[in-house]
Amino acid sequence: MLQRFAIFNSRLTTLAVLILVASLSTTGIASLQANNLKALDGEWIFVEDRTEGRALEHLNPPMNSRFILKVEEGVVVLVWGHGGGGNRDVRVKLDGSPTEIAGATAGTLTRYRASSKDGVLSYEMEFVRAAGKAPEGQIKREFRITKDGLVVRSNLELTPGVWSVGLFRHPLDIPMPTPAKATIGDLAWISGNWAGTRSTGSSFEERWSPPKGGAMLATSRSVNASGKMFAFEFLRIVERDGGLVYIAQPNGATPTEFVMTEFSAKKAVFENPRHDYPKRIVYELSAEGGLTATIGYTKGGTPRRFEFKREGS
């Protein structure tokens, strides 16, 4: 009798150990997944388009070029740059259940669902444009941490049938370029009053001071066709550590700096890969004496172009 009890007790002990091990394994996996997802926390900046077969001029991020994520227990928080939620943080459970955020117009909403598997965070957004109507359009995104940074896949199909893929990194993990050696006098050709117009009738201008005291200063203004200013900017180019730095303050915002990486008697290139957009600013004199400014990504895409003429010419 005692022997049978001992055998039975041994079997119970073995079973309990197996249950405990299984429980610990499940907990460990869940903990590992949670830790992997926590690596998604923070601000992310677009680095490069990794979509296979995409032409240079079509290179673009698969979503906003800057976004912020936060991961909590069982929840992903879409903080900024995801669209659909306005200026609000959107908290989406990772169990696939829907989260609905009402739109500005009655009856409109954005519906979110999120899940995670094998260290990959996925979420989707669908949009209800009117009360009682079926959703119109759906955005799907996947996020995976790799040795290179965060790889994002999206059903944004700039190439038909091919999901867009982009690499993102935390700003401080993106190396800054090596500055070109120069002094402020090397960019004297930018000084002057420059103005241009759009086909829409709007106008824009930049007024650059001559180089003096290790700096050039400028103000920029954009005016719509009806004569109302809709944007302005404070600009500086300053000497620093043997090179030049372009400092922009659109509408008086916090300054953003771009390092001059290349220059000649008619061209200057400024770059900041840690900035969302633009990452690259180029000034260039034309053969006719005009000034062209282009802004865009470091590689590829379609840069925005501004054509100026010197006032009085």
Amino acid at 241: D
Stretch(es) of the chain classified as CATH 2.40.128.20: 184-310
Confidence of residue 3 (pLDDT cuts 50, 70, 90): very low
Q: Is the pLDDT at 18 greater than 70, yes or no?
A: no
Q: Is the pLDDT at 26 greater than 70, yes or no?
A: no
Average pLDDT over residues 142-152: 97
Confidence of residue 86 (pLDDT cuts 50, 70, 90): low
Average pLDDT over residues 247-252: 96
Q: Residue 16 region, left (φ>0) first, then alpha (ψ -120 to 50), else beta?
A: alpha
CA 163 to chain centre: 18
What value does the mean pLDDT of the chain take? 88
Confidence of residue 20 (pLDDT cuts 50, 70, 90): very low
At 167-210, the pLDDT tens digits run 999 999 999 999 999 999 999 999 999 999 999 999 999 999 99
- 124-148 burial code (b ≥16 CB/10 A, e <16): bbbbbeeeeeeeeeebebbbebeee
Q: Is the pLDDT at 37 greater than 60, yes or no?
A: yes
Neighbours of 265 (CB within 10 A): 9
Average pLDDT over residues 250-274: 97
All residues at 6 or more sequence positions from 179 whose CB lies less than 8 Å from its CB, including other chains: 241, 242, 243, 244, 245, 259, 260, 261
Confidence of residue 313 (pLDDT cuts 50, 70, 90): low
Q: Is the pLDDT at 9 greater than 60, yes or no?
A: no
- Name the residue with higher pLDDT: 194 or 118: 194
The strand order across the sheet containing 149-159 reads 90-93, 75-80, 66-72, 42-49, 162-169, 149-159, 138-146, 120-128, 109-117, 99-102
Q: Which CATH architecture has domain 42-170?
A: Beta Barrel (2.40)
State the DSSP H helix or E strand holding residue 10, giving kind and residue range, or none if neither: helix 2-38
Domain 184-310 sits in CATH at 2.40.128.20
Go through the chain and tell me how many residues it has.
Answer: 313
Neighbours of 94 (CB within 10 A): 22
Preceding amide of 211 cis, omega within 30: no
